[in-house]
A and B are shown apart, each in its own frame.
Chain A
Amino acid sequence: MKIVFTTKGEIWESPMDPRFARAEMFLVYDEEADKLTIIDNSATESMEHGVGGQSSKKMITAGANVVITGNGAGEKALKILKTTGIEFYTGAGEMSVKEAYEAYKQNRLQKQF
């Protein structure tokens, strides 16, 4: 299972970024390999439009099964991701990555789709 977190840092203690498409970075946790990898997302900062699509593509390319974020996916991201089988969980925007993972495991996050 690959779980993607929207974050403001590269480690488990980092704060989550409540935004999905414009998150500073994505942290991918591969549960089987017990390994964290980083997907840079800084380019979205200078993009005016269309980040929803670009970030959604990153989720698909990364092979994500679950995405954990704060506010959830926007309209354009929804259009793409809803058909992929990727699950979206929201409400983790104010947590650390570690807390967000625990909250997900304990079913304390809202499922967007």
Chain B
Amino acid sequence: MPAEAPGGRLAALVRALWPLVALLALWELAGQMRWVAGGALPAPTQILYRYWQDWGDYPRHIRATLIASGAGFVIGNAIAVAAGLLFVLAPVTGRIARGLNIAIFALPPIAIAPILSLTLEGMTPRIVLAALGVYFVTMQATVTGLQQFDSRAGDLVRAYGGGKAAVMRFVQIRGAIPAILSGFRVAAPNAVLGAILAEFGGGGRWGLGTYLLGSLGRGDPARLWGIGLTATAIAGLSYALFAVISARMLGRTRAVSLNPSAPPSETREPVNLPVMLASILLPFALWWAVLWALQVPRMIGKSPWDVIDYLFLSAQSAQAQERLLGALLQTLPITLIGMAAGLAFAFALAVSSRLTPGFTRAFLPVALVTQTMPLVALTPLLVLILGRGTAVTLWITISVTFFPAYVMIAQGLAQVPRAALELPRAYGATAWRELRLVAIPASAPWALAAVRLTAPRALLGVMIAEWLATGRGLGNLLNQSRGYMDFSMIWTVALVSVLLSVGFYQVALWIERRVMARMGGG
């Protein structure tokens, strides 16, 4: 046996790597032969060559992006952990902040990037957008981590006369560290995405976003790919950094027994009208307060009331409504269709990979890379390949929805014993009946949670594609208004897209609860 081990390990390595090698070879061939859209997909060697030529430009751009995303990461996480602690210690604050939290989670960064560039200066918009990108993930992880402590350990502390503070100190805080670290891990690429998006939407000389924007018009696919892959590498490395830190820190101190997990869902609180009202009003109050505190000129900084006035009461309101509605009608259908396709694709893959585990092994690494790739960097590449039509928007939405949905559905299916999945077939059930009896009910709550969590990202993807490529819909309206300095419309589009995103989230949550209630889960 020992003599065979090295050979076995080598064979395993070869088996693990060959899909990657094959893919690279195919990519090289496709690039050299200009198979894809007349050279829109350059060969890896061409990208490397261009990279080498451009190397003088990169350090300053990378440095600017790293500083902005690093500062945003630190600030956003500090606020998020503090907020998480507060929400757990005083749950009513969490309920009041619910509207604000969902708005921050759902807001498409691209929609508020222009606003931030208008109202803030220098690096600040980038840092703010990076911080906004990490806040929700880490806050949620902190709250979950603090709430899911071992209740027996909590009882023990209380049995020796310890109060809430003692349970927090001895059990909850240390127990939440794994969850918080995994929050950091997921948040890190978000910070990079936020910083690049802000560079994109604002001024400034340096930053990968600026570099990307400046290179768009040159029609040099190799450079766009170089920038995109650099951004992906930064995001991926930041993720890996925290994966390593948490693996080293946790090591042997993992919990002895684990709770069976349910999909992450919001707990349902009794309806309390004043709290609900406060939760809805808080984001608007904050909006007002920030404008006031920063002393933003009235012409640039529009208050919630200004937006209502512009959209419904002013002389231009009819025209504004028409433009907005037209844009919405272009953006909405494509978002919904893309999400449905992404979900269906994810479901099919999850089911098939559950029944034939080897099948997905070659495919998943590629999907993983596209997920780490910041959307802004991915979009221009897809535009190069797919052109400026509807297809590109659709593909972006699918790719954004697909992967998280796949992960969640697979997680749901993993909790069903394989035997249960195959049982109907043992009784001669058709494939469809088998799906209907086991796979769909087992994964429905997870698929719905995935919809809730990916809807905002899907909208972001569509808006980026519209802004950069297709010249339609909300994204284009935002870009146009920026060009015309139509401040009222910029604020309106930002508000509408945030509301739309929150709306998606709430509808998905509502359906999820209905289904869960019917299935007796929850």
Do A and B come from the same complex?
Answer: no
